[in-house]
Structure 1
Amino acid sequence: MTLIGPQDENWDAMFIAAYPNAHAFLAMVSDPEYQRAVIHRQAAVRSSRLIRSTPLATRDGFA
């Protein structure tokens, strides 16, 4: 159920990946071996989103 966002977007799955920094992500996607493999991910999904975020400092309890 979408609480905030387009009501017509339904997602089957999602994941969160953490990288040490933006350079590490760019190095990964620039790697020739990754580029050969990514065609399979692209063929497997109709649509995807990539959202860059930064973790919040947490206190005791919920964020």
Structure 2
Amino acid sequence: MRPTGGWKSVRDVEIAVAVAVAEYIDWFNHRRLHGEIGHVPPTELEAAHWKSQSLEHYCETPVLIEAGTK
């Protein structure tokens, strides 16, 4: 998060912080190897979990066509 020539305004700092936070969240969720879950990124584990699930275990909840309308 080092400026390349200095920040001109508070807005520049806010943007730099937002970019740094977004990059950290991306790393944390997609590239970080987590030791407690077999040294795989959390998103890979979640994808494998949902791929292994069968839809027969889920009950269908009927949704009324009018739901959410007035």
TM-score bracket, shorter-length normalisation: under 0.3
| Structure with the bigger percentage of helix | 2
TM-score between both structures, scaled by the size of structure 1: 0.24
TM-score between both structures, scaled by the size of structure 2: 0.23
Q: Greater RCO between the two (CA within 8 Å, min separation 6)?
A: 2
